[in-house]
Structures are given as C-alpha cells and as structure tokens.
Chain A
C-alpha cells in the first residue's frame, strides 16, 4: 500500500494549510449536506460505508475503500458522484451540482486531506449461525439408527409403532381403518392420480367388502406395476423442478422438454435408484455410459437444470448468467437438500449457516457450464442425443450428401446468374450486387405467388406477384443467411407498373423489433430504378433478421422480387454496379433445363434438411473448457466483485469420507452430484423420504418440505424419519419400496373421520392419528373427467404433443386427450382449469401446491365448455341405454364420478331431479346432463375421505 494511504491522520497538519482550509470550508459542508444522512456512524452506514471520518472512507464499505489517494480518478467516490456507471450513482436521488463535483475533484486531486478523526468505525454486524453451532441443528446431523432397534406395534408395521408413541401420550385414539371402497379411491389417487374407473370397481367386488390384507397388498402391487404409477410420481417431480415446455417471455416453445418428462416417467416406473436419478439430473452429461439408452437418459436428465423460466432478452448478460445460476441453485437447494441457499446471494444467510462464500462456491460449479448462447435474445443449449450406430451412420451420410448437393447447386446457380447478367434483358444477377441479396427464389412463400419476368428491371431470373387475389393471406419472407451483426441499409426491389399496389406492406424484423413500411409499387424505385430503401436496421448474431412483404390491406398487384442488406459502411459509395443498366444478350435455350435441374436439386436438399432436422436433440447444459471459481458478488451485484472463492460445497454439512475435493481443471458438477446423492449426506435422502411421505400422507414429517434449515419446521417424528431414511438407503434408494412401506401401514389406511374433541386435540393432524382428506388436484380432475367421458387416451408411449413448427405458446388451444401431464405445459397457455384449481406455478419449484377453495372454481365447474363437453358425452352414453332402469342409471353416474353407489338419500335427490325434468319437458334425456354435471360439481367428486 502506498504511503499516502497509510498516513494515519491529517490532524497533524497545520490548520492554516490551504488543503485543510479547503476541506473545512468546502468539503465538510458538502459531505454533511449530501452524504452523511446515509453514510455516517451516527445515522445509517449504508453499504457499510461511513464518510464521517478519514478512517471511515479508508476502511470503506462492501465495495472497498471509497477513495484511492494514489489514483484519485479510480476512487469509488469519484465514479459514484460522476454518475457514469448506472450501477453506482451517488447521491441516489440526484446528481450533485457541477460546482459540487468540482469541490470533490479539487479535494481528491490534492490528496484527499481529511483532518476528521473517527469516534467509532464499525461495520454492519453479521448474524449467521457458526459452523460449530450448525452441526447441532438436527438436519445436518446424520440419521440415527438406534442400533437397528425400533418399537413394535400389533400391526407388525414399524411406521405404526413409531407413530403410536406420541398418539398414546397425547391421549389420541387412532381412527379405525377406512372402508375398502375409500381405500381403493385413495390408492388410485395417490399412486395413479386418477379416480378408479368403473371397470376396476366392478371387476373386484370382493374389494368392496371386508378388510382383506392379502387382497389389499395384491392391489397395491398391481397399481405399482402399472405405467400410470410413473406418470403420477413424475408429475410430483415436475412440480418440484418447475417443469414447463415454454418460456413466459416471448412464449418460446421448448420443443425438446418432453424428453425430460418421459425420462422421469421411465425412471419412476423402473424404480431407478433415487441416488442415481439425482446424479443424472445434476451431471448426467459428465457420467460414463455403456449403452445408447443409458447415454440418452443421462443427457436428458440434465434438462432439469435448463428448464427455468428465464428472461432470455435480459440485456445485461452478466446479470442474466448469475440470475440463471441463482435459479438453478435455488431449485437444487430446495428440491434436493431442503435448503434456502438463495438467501446467501447478497449476504450471509441471516438464520442458516450458509455464508455468502458457500453460495459462490456452489455458483462457481454451475457457472462452469454454459446453458445459454448469448444474443439480443439468448438461446438455450440443445445437444444431439446418441443413436444406434446404424442411425448415426445414416445421419452422417445425409450430412455429407447435403454438402455435396450444395456444392453442385451453388455452381449451377453461379452459371445461371452469370448467363443472366450477360443477357440482354434488364435483369440483375444477385451475385453482382453488393451486400447480401436475397432473391425471390430463396424466399419463404406463404400463399400462392406467381412467378413472372414480364416487367423489367428485376433481380435474378424472375420476380413474384400475388395475382391481385387472396388479399391478406399471402406473404413472402426474405431471410438473409449468415448476416454479420451490424447496421444495414435494407432495400427492396420490385418491378413497377400501373397495375401495382400503392401500399405494399413491408415488415422489417431487426434487433430493434418490427418496423412497417408501405411501398408504392406504381412508381419506379428511387435508387437506379432498381432499389427502394426501406431504412437502416441493426441486426445481431442469431437475432431476428427478415423482411416480409405481404398483400394485407392492398389493392393492385403486390410484387416481391428481392431484398438487399447493404452494410451501412458501404452505402456511401455508389452501390449498384453498371451491369444493372447495361443491356446484354438473350438467354441460351439450355438455360431452361439448367434452371429445372437447379429447382429439382433444391427440392431434394430441402427434403434432406428436413430429415436431418429430425435428429433427436435435448435441452442440456455444456461443461466449459475452462472451469471457473467465482468472486463473491457484493450485495448480489454482478458489477461489484469481492474475494474469489474456490468451488466447493455447503460447509454446514459435516465433511464426508466420500467427498472429493474439486480439482482446478475439473468442472465440479460431477463432484457436486456425488456429494448430494451419497448415503452419507444427512440431507438428501431425508428430504426425499419426507417428500414421498407428504405425497401419500398429506403432510411431511417435516412440514416445510423444502426447508430443513433453522427457519423450517422440526420433524414431528424424527426417529421415524431417520429410520425410514436409513432403510430407504439400505433398499437402494428405491421409491417403490418406500411407497409400499407407507401404504401398507395402518396409519395410511385410517379413516378421516374424527370427533370434534379429537379435532380440537390435534387440529393439524400432526400425529397422523386419522387419514387426511385428499383433494383431487387439477390433473386428477381433468384426467378423471376425460376418463368418464371415454376420451382418455392412455397411449403406450407418448412423445411430444406440441404441433411441429410451433414457436410461440400464446393462445394455444389444447385439444389433446392424453393425461394432463403430457400437456403441452405452456407457461402462457395453461390447460383448462389449471389456473382455477391450484395447478403448480411452472416457474417455481413447488413442494406443496396451494389448496384454495374459491368461487372461480365453482364458476369453472358450472360454466366451462370443456367440462360441459366431458359430462355431456358421458350423460349421452347413460341416456342412450334402453335396458337399464333409471335407478341403475343413477347408480352408474355415481360410480363413475364419486366411485361408489348412490346412497338412499342421493337416489331420492336424483329421482326428484328426473321427475321435475319429466314434468317440464316430458322427456328425461336432457336431465342426465344436469345430473352428471351436478355430481362433478359435488363435494365427493373432488374430496376423498
């Protein structure tokens, strides 16, 4: 450090020293007036900076010393008061007057003499749990096995035994087992996410009667073996990892996201080890593989990291990248570790032992992979999926075939153009023109366009016109290939004439958006009679770049010939070469056959390309060649960097024997995956076991499912959680084992009824002495309705249901009859009923959906056309039967909707409905619609005991 910086204080200076006088007369009053309100030890010390003493600014705030006396222009104080850096402007509510800035300049340039002595210099206190203290928090300690011993219960089930203890001490009598009919409904909803279908109810009448453990267990096995199980559990996981198939901003469609969804279904159906499942999602791309299928799963799994609802158009790309990483960390923390890591982005965690250092240690790991290709609007990363060697070879040969074709075609085109330019007609070869010229033959046409060469001048071999028909339906889009970023003058060529339109609509899509220009095609283009300038536009790498001519709101022929993109730098000189106006010879007769050949080849190439485009791709992230450690971002700002921290893990989790340090050149994600998904990590398995428990039992043993930190709730039965966790690990992280264990317990099977005294004793059912009332989630409501109407298509394997070529998700009209999880799950076009019935917000990791009972739900069930179509389809089936009595029909309606026969009173209710309707119209047919609709709207359709 320089000596000036170390000069202890300036009090020794003579008070008549000019610089001291200047400070006292000018600087001190200025600081008092404009700075000290927020930067003084007597008031606030915003940003950790106090300016009320020399020591204050020497020590500086979160961003470092405020003044650098050696190089005063680099002082933060100078930069901030000059308002040049939008992220560092002081005072915040308005720039200093020029005269005030002049005072600061003089002060700093003369060495920042400051005779003030600090009374106290303090920094803002930090309030986090120390690492030692954190080891005491239950979640960071290893699950305890108690030497393998556990309490026992008459049912023989360990879960019942663990739960009994607290029930007994609370004086709660556990509820009896629910009826077989109710249990069937529970199992269907919990394991398949559907109401039992009528066939299933009628096929096992025995199941309606007495409790039969063997029949129950077999039923559970059947449900676990069905592909519906994987769908149900995948849907749970999709909530947690904020799965969606589009992005809110601009509605970009993530057309490969379905592969991840199907990976989840496959994984749950095959009962993949959850440790492996987690490892694949964090670092599948970095794992070794033996087969194509395995590699496919590994790559597809990493989509989890890339499906966030990102603002791809954020212009501050540094900010975007850190926000991206933050989103990933937030999800990994909540879903896998039950930690609110995001809190530590700006400051040490206020409550949990997660220092900012840990946040950036983890962020460095994620930042060492890239998930975005930047542009004005950034792109997500797609990687090709592996194929069997035969297909791999086929794609390789197609690629080389396409390259050969292109070479030949280019040669033919060149010949065609050179002969065109040497012809006598007033046509101009595109190749002779400056900049990039897109001729009509390589433009995208919508609607029927006529090719013509009757009116000159034009570019290439011909121009197009709309035949003055189909107004508003035709357009031609000119898209330049390989346009280098920069500013271009964009010009349009058309052959003018009296029958042309006076207002052809031309839309220009550039980096700055869309512009519309109307062109009068009755008059000659202004530049050399060939080009009409549309304007100057900016284009960015991978950004939008196209010119679309349409015949919307036009009268007269609309002509589309060519569009030129002329680099702004080149526009000064005369751009149209002589050839444009120089008459030359007529085309040779064999030109025509050459032209035909070119057209044939072009068609072939298109075909080839469309086959090449079918190569399966998946959304993923790419490990960077050079992994990086990150600097702490002071108060979360990407523009204020602090100390660099090596990549690493959460320090609150005790060091595990299996943990590997992250090597300098190693990406770190594989190490992170292993650190998270290992038997020794005290959080991961516990968090997952608790999650599955909550799916089946309504609430977690730890109710804050994604927060096992000190602000989260404590486990109601810690020994049970530990016991299940250790067993789960021992059983190879098997989900099906865990499900079986839980649903076979009496605790799962208990009725939900209870007396009001019992309700008062344990209103939240924390002791699990009774069953919880299940409410059908929106998928179950929708899927059950589709099932009732006979429309549900369960398919064998359902791939993408997004229409090909779909780029934006706005106003999508859903017509698919698959289960709701197949969507498409669009962030801007949710499925019917999704908003009303508490569907998961697909932009957030959701561990527990909200459960609201609001009027819009009632309105939707009463008035939605979608619901009406489903219920009336079923009603029509019921009504059409000639053999069934009304009573039987009523019963069928109840079985289908509430999965049980009608009670006596309900039958009476239904009959009165029928009688009233018969009295009104003389026919009963229409009444079945009302009846089914009422049942779907009723409590028992949505709530299972």
Chain B
C-alpha cells in the first residue's frame, strides 16, 4: 500500500511547542485517526528529513542575474553586442548563436549573513535569511514558453497530462490531518495550465490539490465550505444521517461504498468545523501581522497567503503552494520589457517571505518544513530584442530551498560568467523533484503508479537526488 494516513501526535514529533492545539486536538479526538496512526517520521522508503513542503511559486520567471546570481561581468560588458545561444531561437529554428546586447542589472548587490552570499537590492528582507538557504544557481528546465514550463515544473511533463507534484506527494505519504485536504494551492492562477498544475491526472481524485482562493481575488476560501459548523448545521446533518441509515438498513446488504457515504458527511462536518478557524486570522498578534506585512498595502495580499501557509503547515497539510502570479498569458515576473517592474513584484513578496521564514524558524517549524522558492524558469542576461526587458531562460536560473534537511547557508552550482546557462553541478527540474521527494522520505524511482499498462513516476525516467545540498 502506497497510501498511508499519518497522524501527528504532538508529543511524538516535537510539536508540543506549537500553538496548534485546537486544530490538532480535533483530529486527536477522532478514534479513526488514532487507529491509522503509524510512526510519523519513518518516511515511505527511508527516513524523512522534512514532513511537509511550502512552495513559494514566483510565476512568470524571476531574473536570476538581478536577484541571487551576481555576475560582475554584466556591468563590465554592458551594452556590448555578443553572441548567445538563445533558447527560444533554438526551439523555433533549431539554430543557436545570435547577437544580443548584454544588459547589466539595474540593482546593486550586497553581501549578507555569515555566509556572505550576494543578494540584490530587490530582496533586502529575504536576504537576511541567506544563512538558512541553499541557493541552487545551476537550475535548468524544459519549456521555453510559460505554459509548457509551468506544467513541467508542476508535473515533470511538458505536453502530456501528468499528476502534479503535490498529488504525487500526497499519494505517497498522505496527510497529517484527516480534517483537511493534504495538498493545498493558495490563490492559483487559471492560466498556464490552471487546474492541471494541482490536478491528480490519473492518480485517484482524492490526491488532487484543493485551491484556496484564486489569483486576482483577495478572498481566501474553499469551494462549498461556507457553513460555520454551528449547532443548527449539526442538527441538519444528523437529520440527513438518520435518513441515510434508514436507507442503508433497507438495502439489507453489505456495501462499504454506502458506509463511506455516511462517513463522508462526518468528514465534511469535521472540515466545516476546522477550516473556518484556520482561515480566521484574528487570533494572530499585531506583531505577527506586521511580520508578514499585513499592515502595508503592497505586501498585504501575499502576506495573508504566506500566513495562511504557516497555519496550514501547523495543521498538518502536506504540500502548500503559495502562488504569486496572475491569470494573464504573461504573468507577474514576466518582464519582456521594462525590467524595472521586477521591483514592484519584489516589494510585494519580500517582506511576506522574510516574515514567513522568521515565523517558521521561531516556531520550530523550519526544522521539518521544506521551503522552496522559485519560478518556472529564469531570464536571459541580455536585453530582449535590444529593448528594456529580458526573455525567458530555461537554461540557467536560481531557486532556493531552506528548512527540513537542507544544508543552510550554501550555494550550489554555477551558471556561466554571464549567468546565462548552468554549467557546473547542473540541477535539472527532474533532479529538484527527485531531491524534494527524497527529503520527504521517498525514492523517486519507487514512487510509481500503474496506468495505461505501465508504471509512471514524477521524474519519468530521469532525475537524480542532489545529495550535496542535503544535511
């Protein structure tokens, strides 16, 4: 059996210090959950170093040479026309080597932390956490356009319909909380694959992600979860259950599926009782609100999402994706022209992400939560069409990981001297997927599902665990 229901016992997993008692206690009083409990840190294939993932998705593609991958040569050669191997050109025409104008970064870089990592002025707050991060400078991926690359990031496949990573993880290790969905995508975009990015494809439907809120809307809510779970709704539910039992008795036959219907109403009741509390931020302190930037207009939106992510993690949700994007075909960070617009997006996410890191760390959650920051690809170090922006660049970009099982304060891999192509210790998106599964206690080659006559995996026939970034 691949699918296991894990239960987080507050003493057994060092969760005693967490302020999640109310949410967890509800599952603790449910005897069914206790019965299914197994040793929480065993992992599926080997001992897990992280129990859950927060993925901070920077939709559209953040420019690496303007954020974490400092390349002094860009300043020296700024404005020069040079030959580059452009990814779009290769995909369209199969040729490489066209003249492009080198464009330096409009932002300056400073060194931060004990590790002395360089970070640009785009992310001054996030930069204060560099000693917690493993910066992977040598990322590369598939897909030159947003749609394919975004689907590849989520499902490991460019054009074919495959389960998203969160679904694979939920399929592999289940959820820690029976009262909540195990895989949540906060404010997902409907563009560039939309629901396919949190869909379960051929995996059973229960592994699909649950969206909370939508890109471009401020309200964070779950579909059909609009009742408060008060006494009167409980009595209405009892009424239905009474009718269900009458009908079940009348059939006078054993049928586990029909028992499951009755159970589904109980589960719905538990979700209704739990979720409103989760989405109610009034219990958070003023200080916490400020930490996430809820007090400022530009950071409030993403700050709320990050805060919700922390609350979901505390409640045992396995995979939380916090989307920063929109519904357009050229989402958020997609600065083909007007690169300085990156600053607006950076302002919107910098404080919230830094706040999340601080909050996770001080609550002890960072120890077993894997935080992953990044986009579907990076951007070119030269000006697009000799203009003011940068085109997509799947050949080299930076993501960072932090928390559960990740070596803190390191930088791994390199791009070439212009920051264009990954050349040293390259990490393919498949490798990143394999590494994340590994940290969660799963072997990406063994996490398989039989469909259409063969075994499928998240990493297809590829992927290598990057052991050097693991503690």
Q: Within the complex, what minimum Cβ distance (angstroms) separates A83 from chain B?
A: 7
Q: What B residues does A189 contact at CB under 8 A?
A: none
Q: Are B327 and A513 in contact (CB under 8 A)?
A: no
Q: Are B145 and A315 in contact (CB under 8 A)?
A: yes
Q: Are A315 and B88 in contact (CB under 8 A)?
A: yes
Given contacts A753-B251, A841-B201, contact A311 B226 (CB under 8 A): no
Give which listed residue, A513, A855, A860, A942, contacts B336 with CB less than 8 A: A513
Say yes or no for A741: interface residue by CB 8 A criterion.
no
Q: Are A862 and B268 in contact (CB under 8 A)?
A: yes
Say yes or no for A935: interface residue by CB 8 A criterion.
yes
Q: What A residues does B327 contact at CB under 8 A?
A: 810
B379-394 toward A: CB 8 Å interface, digit per residue (1/0)? 0000011111001000
| Shortest Cβ distance from B146 into A: residue | A313
Q: Which of B374-407 contact A (CB under 8 A)?
A: 384-388, 391, 395
Q: How far is the CA of A483 from the CA of B336 in the complex (A)?
A: 21
Given contacts A538-B385, A858-B264, contact A909 B257 (CB under 8 A): no
Q: How far is the CA of A943 from the CA of B256 in the complex (A)?
A: 13
Q: Which of B199-254 contact A (CB under 8 A)?
A: 199, 201-202, 204-206, 210, 223-227, 236-237, 239-240, 242-244, 246-248, 250-254
Q: How many A-B residue pairs have CB under 8 A?
A: 239
Given contacts A319-B158, A352-B453, contact A753 B206 (CB under 8 A): no
Q: How far is the CA of A350 from the CA of B461 in the complex (A)?
A: 14
Give which listed residue, A515, A536, A903, A913, contacts B250 with CB less than 8 A: A903
Give which listed residue, B138, B252, B265, B387, contacts A753 with CB less than 8 A: B252
B75-105 toward A: CB 8 Å interface, digit per residue (1/0)? 0000000000101101110101000000000
Q: How far is the CA of A317 from the CA of B159 in the complex (A)?
A: 12
Q: How large is the interface on A (under 10, 10 to 19, 20 to 34, 35 or more residues)?
A: 35 or more
Q: How far is the CA of A841 from the CA of B203 in the complex (A)?
A: 11
Q: What A residues does B257 contact at CB under 8 A?
A: 773, 775, 851, 853, 943
Binds A, one of B64-72, B186-194, B286-294, B304-312: B186-194
Q: Are B138 and A249 in contact (CB under 8 A)?
A: no
Q: What B residues does A515 contact at CB under 8 A?
A: 336-338
Say yes or no for B255: interface residue by CB 8 A criterion.
yes
Q: Are A706 and B254 in contact (CB under 8 A)?
A: no
Q: Are B247 and A853 in contact (CB under 8 A)?
A: no
Q: Are A314 and B268 in contact (CB under 8 A)?
A: no
| Shortest Cβ distance from A350 into B: residue | B454
Q: What A residues does B30 contact at CB under 8 A?
A: none
Q: Are B253 and A752 in contact (CB under 8 A)?
A: yes
Q: Are B386 and A536 in contact (CB under 8 A)?
A: yes
Q: Are A858 and B267 in contact (CB under 8 A)?
A: yes
Say yes or no for A92: interface residue by CB 8 A criterion.
yes
Q: What B residues does A709 contact at CB under 8 A?
A: 453
Q: How far is the CA of A352 from the CA of B247 in the complex (A)?
A: 47
Q: What A residues does B210 contact at CB under 8 A?
A: 856
Q: Within the complex, what minimum Cβ distance (angstroms) separates B15 from chain A?
A: 24
Q: How far is the CA of A913 from the CA of B242 in the complex (A)?
A: 11
Given contacts A84-B96, A773-B257, contact A906 B453 (CB under 8 A): no
Given contacts A340-B454, A487-B385, contact A249 B421 (CB under 8 A): no
| Shortest Cβ distance from A709 into B: residue | B453
Say yes or no for A10: interface residue by CB 8 A criterion.
no
Q: Are A773 and B255 in contact (CB under 8 A)?
A: yes
Q: Within the complex, what minimum Cβ distance (angstroms) separates B333 from chain A?
A: 12
Say yes or no for A552: interface residue by CB 8 A criterion.
no
Q: What B residues does A661 contact at CB under 8 A?
A: none
Q: What B residues does A250 contact at CB under 8 A?
A: 147, 191, 329
Say yes or no for B12: interface residue by CB 8 A criterion.
no
Given contacts A334-B452, A844-B202, A942-B261, contact A811 B190 (CB under 8 A): yes
Given contacts A709-B453, A939-B244, contact A315 B91 (CB under 8 A): yes
| Shortest Cβ distance from A941 into B: residue | B247
Q: How far is the CA of A853 from the CA of B263 in the complex (A)?
A: 9
Q: How far is the CA of A394 from the CA of B380 in the complex (A)?
A: 54
Q: Are B190 and A83 in contact (CB under 8 A)?
A: no
Q: Are A343 and B454 in contact (CB under 8 A)?
A: yes
Binds A, one of B31-39, B361-369, B422-430: B422-430
Q: Are A314 and B453 in contact (CB under 8 A)?
A: no
Most buried by B among A93, A838, A938: A93
Give which listed residue, A340, A863, A905, contacts B246 with CB less than 8 A: A905
Q: Are B159 and A323 in contact (CB under 8 A)?
A: yes
Most buried by B among A94, A320, A906: A94
Q: How far is the CA of A856 from the CA of B386 in the complex (A)?
A: 51
Say yes or no for A197: interface residue by CB 8 A criterion.
no
Say yes or no for A444: interface residue by CB 8 A criterion.
no
Q: Are B423 and A95 in contact (CB under 8 A)?
A: yes
Q: How far is the CA of A639 from the CA of B264 in the complex (A)?
A: 50
Q: Are B251 and A945 in contact (CB under 8 A)?
A: yes
Q: Are A938 and B240 in contact (CB under 8 A)?
A: yes
Q: Which of B175-195 contact A (CB under 8 A)?
A: 190-195
Say yes or no for B330: interface residue by CB 8 A criterion.
yes
| Shortest Cβ distance from B391 into A: residue | A512
Say yes or no for B371: interface residue by CB 8 A criterion.
no
Q: What B residues does A315 contact at CB under 8 A?
A: 88, 91-92, 143-145, 148
Q: What B residues does A94 contact at CB under 8 A?
A: 138, 413-414, 422-426
Q: Are A909 and B242 in contact (CB under 8 A)?
A: yes
| Shortest Cβ distance from B242 into A: residue | A909
Q: Are B161 and A843 in contact (CB under 8 A)?
A: yes
Q: How far is the CA of A862 from the CA of B206 in the complex (A)?
A: 19
Q: What B residues does A86 contact at CB under 8 A?
A: 85, 87, 90, 395
Q: What B residues does A340 contact at CB under 8 A?
A: 452-454
Q: Are A756 and B254 in contact (CB under 8 A)?
A: yes
Most buried by B among A342, A537, A913, A934: A934
| Shortest Cβ distance from A838 into B: residue | B205
Say yes or no for A210: interface residue by CB 8 A criterion.
no
Say yes or no for B18: interface residue by CB 8 A criterion.
no
Give which listed residue, A342, A487, A535, A711, contacts B388 with CB less than 8 A: A535
Q: What B residues does A346 contact at CB under 8 A?
A: 461
Q: How far is the CA of A841 from the CA of B225 in the complex (A)?
A: 23
Q: How far is the CA of A859 from the CA of B265 in the complex (A)?
A: 8
6 of the cross-chain contacts (CB-CB < 8 Å) are A314-B147, A319-B91, A350-B454, A512-B385, A827-B195, A864-B224
| Closest 3 pairs (CB-CB, A-B) | A513-B330, A340-B453, A315-B91
Residues of B whose CB lies within 8 Å of any CB of A are: 85, 87-88, 90-92, 94, 96, 138, 143-148, 151, 158-161, 190-196, 199, 201-202, 204-206, 210, 223-227, 236-237, 239-240, 242-244, 246-248, 250-255, 257-258, 260-265, 267-268, 270-272, 327-330, 334, 336-338, 384-388, 391, 395, 413-414, 421-428, 452-454, 461, 464
Given A94-B414, A515-B336, A938-B243, 12 further pairs, Cβ under 8 A? A95-B424, A313-B147, A314-B148, A319-B158, A514-B329, A536-B386, A754-B253, A841-B161, A841-B199, A843-B161, A844-B202, A935-B243
